[in-house]
């Protein structure tokens, strides 16, 4: 085998999606996700059920990822896994599996920070070859996080601002729940928003200092608004669903874009990359594209399959660490809290 042919098996199990991918250098040969439907019945992720489902999914999923990539496990160069942040019971499944397999195959193990991986997904080889140049600003927007990160290098990241309460994905999902939509409601709000008038209703933009965010006030104001309107007209939500969704989405996009503009102004860096599940949102994608023509920004948005939780992003982070000799020993524990920029030293297995 050519020494420049690196094959990484990547495993992601931080929340409710079990995911596996095989990378050949920067390219994903396979990238598959087993989404756990069971949580829909509860309107949110139930940690115990998530970890049980990971246990059931992980072995067949890894076999399938190898099959699709047409790779034998003996060809693997290393195994990368999500160490955190996330639900501990879920992380333990992927971490233990990765450790056992790396021991069995006698290949190195690489731990990956899930949030750094969302950002590094920009370095996967795709049809659109443009990768962000350093330094750039990344806005990571997901169901668990909302951060603006200054990215100076693959492993040199600094959080400039973050949410003080709910993550933006939660704001979407909780608003959707108030509208009686199933979990996760973010993509549904997006879909209905395309059909409605975004200027029909207004919700307040929170006043939060610096580059931090807050979304809990928005949720409360939507709750009171809906209570008021439905008291007068019980059919209000059904009749106005599209306009309500469009107005909520417009407000959330406005909150995100205001802070992003502030970050660009303060750092003087106008290269901006989106990452995380909410980067799939059509409103934020459109606003970012407009920023290119309006303010001369250079923007980067990953393909949809690399926005939501996936293992290819863990694979690219693993590949970049592999090249840099950043391996992990078997004693490295999963960790529910894991700050961006604090990952992976150069321990050797
Ligand atoms: O990154 P991700 O897949 O998982 C976490 O690490 O949290 O993000 C999931 C979040 C959910 O809150 C989901 O509702 C939201 O991303 N989401 C969207 C859209 N697609 C996914 N929110 C708004 N519009 C979308 N199109
Ligand atoms: Zn995520």
Query: What pLDDT, on a 0 to 100 scale, did the predictor assign at position 169?
Result: 96
In testing the pocket of ligand 1, which one of 170, 278, 302 has its CB within 8 Å of the most ligand atoms? 278
Query: What pLDDT, on a 0 to 100 scale, did the predictor assign at position 1?
Result: 57
Q: Atom 14 in ligand 1: which residue has the minimum CA distance?
A: 186
pLDDT tens sequence across 140-184: 999 988 999 999 999 999 999 999 999 999 999 999 999 999 988
Query: What pLDDT, on a 0 to 100 scale, did the predictor assign at position 232?
Result: 94
Burial of 70: CB neighbours in 10 Å, binned 0-12, 13-18, 19+:
exposed
The answer to whether the 7-122+307-323 and 131-302 domains have the same CATH topology is: yes
Q: Is the CB–ligand 1 distance for residue 309 below 6 Å?
A: yes
Q: Is the CB–ligand 1 distance for residue 142 below 6 Å?
A: yes
Q: Is the CB–ligand 1 distance for residue 155 below 6 Å?
A: no
Ligand 2 mean position, distance from CA 255 (Å): 20
Q: What are the sequence ranges of the domains in the chain?
A: 7-122+307-323, 131-302
Ligand 1 mean position, distance from CA 206 (Å): 21
Cα(135)–Cα(126) distance, rounded to whole angstroms? 21
**Residue ranges of the chain with pLDDT lower than 50?**
345-349
In testing the pocket of ligand 1, which one of 34, 45, 143 has its CB within 8 Å of the most ligand atoms? 143
Unique residue bearing structure tokens 């879920």: 90
Class of domain 7-122+307-323: alpha beta
The share of the chain scoring above pLDDT 70, in percent, equals 95
Ligand 1 mean position, distance from CA 225 (Å): 24
Q: Is the CB–ligand 1 distance for residue 196 below 6 Å?
A: no
Among 284, 293, 321, 276, CA closest to 190 = 284
Query: What pLDDT, on a 0 to 100 scale, did the predictor assign at position 2?
Result: 64
Q: Is the CB–ligand 1 distance for residue 277 below 6 Å?
A: yes
Of all ligands present, the nearest one to the C-alpha of 168 is 1
Lay out the sheet containing 136-141: strands in order across. Answer: 156-162, 146-153, 136-141, 271-275, 298-300
Query: What pLDDT, on a 0 to 100 scale, did the predictor assign at position 134?
Result: 98
Q: What backbone torsions phi and psi does residue 61 show, to the nearest 5 degrees?
A: -65, -40
Q: Is the CB–ligand 1 distance for residue 184 below 6 Å?
A: yes
Q: Is the CB–ligand 1 distance for residue 84 below 6 Å?
A: no
Query: What pLDDT, on a 0 to 100 scale, did the predictor assign at position 36?
Result: 67
Cα(72)–Cα(134) distance, rounded to whole angstroms? 36
Query: What pLDDT, on a 0 to 100 scale, did the predictor assign at position 39?
Result: 67
> What is the distance of C-alpha 69 from the center of its chain?
24
Ligand 1 atom at shortest distance from the alpha carbon of 118 = 1
Q: Is the CB–ligand 1 distance for residue 276 below 6 Å?
A: yes
Q: Is the CB–ligand 1 distance for residue 111 below 6 Å?
A: no
Among 167, 130, 178, CA closest to 278 = 167
Query: What pLDDT, on a 0 to 100 scale, did the predictor assign at position 348?
Result: 34
Ligand 1 atom at shortest distance from the alpha carbon of 282 = 26
Query: What pLDDT, on a 0 to 100 scale, did the predictor assign at position 340?
Result: 86
Unique residue bearing structure tokens 């009749």: 239
* Bridge partners for 21 per DSSP: 10, 31
Of all ligands present, the nearest one to the C-alpha of 308 is 1
Ligand 1 mean position, distance from CA 141 (Å): 8
Ligand 1 atom at shortest distance from the alpha carbon of 184 = 14
What residues contact 94, with CB distance under 8 A and at least 6 apart?
Answer: 11, 12, 13, 14, 18, 54, 58, 81, 82, 334
Q: Which fold has domain 131-302?
A: Nucleotidyltransferase; domain 5 (3.30.420)
Among 153, 123, 116, CA closest to 316 = 123
The Cα-based distances of 271 to 1, 114, 118, 256, 259 in angstroms read 38, 22, 17, 16, 14
Ligand 1 mean position, distance from CA 343 (Å): 24
| H and E: helices and strands count for the chain | 10, 10
User: Residue 296 is encoded by which pair of tokens?
Assistant: 């001369």
Is 0.85 surpassed by the pTM of this model? yes
Ligand 2 mean position, distance from CA 33 (Å): 13
Pairing of strands 17-24, 27-35: antiparallel
Q: Atom 1 in ligand 1: which residue has the minimum CA distance?
A: 277
Cα(156)–Cα(123) distance, rounded to whole angstroms? 15
């Amino acid at each position: 085998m050519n020494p420049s042919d690196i094959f990484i098996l990547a495993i992601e199990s931080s929340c409710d999606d079990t995911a596996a991918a095989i990378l050949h250098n920067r390219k994903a040969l396979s990238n598959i996700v087993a989404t756990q439907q069971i949580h829909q019945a509860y309107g949110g992720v139930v940690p115990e059920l998530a970890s049980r489902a990971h246990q059931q999914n992980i072995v067949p999923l890894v076999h399938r990822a190898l099959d699709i990539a047409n790779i034998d496990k003996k060809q693997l160069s290393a195994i990368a896994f999500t160490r955190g942040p996330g639900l501990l019971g879920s992380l333990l499944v992927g971490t233990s599996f990765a450790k056992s397999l790396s021991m069995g195959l006698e290949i190195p193990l690489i731990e990956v920070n899930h949030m750094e991986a969302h950002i590094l997904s920009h370095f996967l080889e795709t049809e659109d070859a443009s990768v962000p140049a350093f330094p750039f600003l990344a806005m990571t927007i997901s169901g668990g996080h909302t951060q603006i990160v200054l990215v100076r290098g693959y492993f040199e990241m600094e959080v400039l601002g973050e949410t003080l309460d709910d993550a933006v994905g939660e704001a979407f999902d909780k608003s959707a729940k108030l509208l009686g939509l199933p979990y996760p409601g973010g993509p549904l709000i997006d879909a209905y928003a395309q059909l409605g008038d975004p200027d029909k209703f207004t919700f307040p933009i929170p006043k939060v200092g610096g580059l931090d965010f807050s979304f809990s006030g928005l949720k409360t104001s939507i709750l009171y608004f809906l209570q008021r309107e439905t008291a007068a007209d019980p059919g209000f939500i059904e009749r106005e669903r599209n306009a309500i969704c469009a107005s909520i989405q417009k407000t959330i996009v406005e909150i995100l874009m205001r802070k992003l503009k502030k970050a660009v102004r303060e750092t003087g860096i106008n290269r901006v990359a989106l990452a995380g599940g909410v980067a799939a949102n059509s409103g934020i994608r459109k606003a970012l594209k407009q920023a290119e023509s309006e303010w001369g920004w250079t923007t980067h948005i990953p393909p949809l399959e690399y926005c939501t939780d996936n293992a290819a992003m863990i694979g690219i982070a693993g590949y970049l660490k592999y090249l840099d000799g950043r391996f992990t020993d078997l004693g490295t524990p999963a960790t529910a809290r894991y700050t961006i920029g604090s990952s992976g030293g150069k321990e050797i297995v």
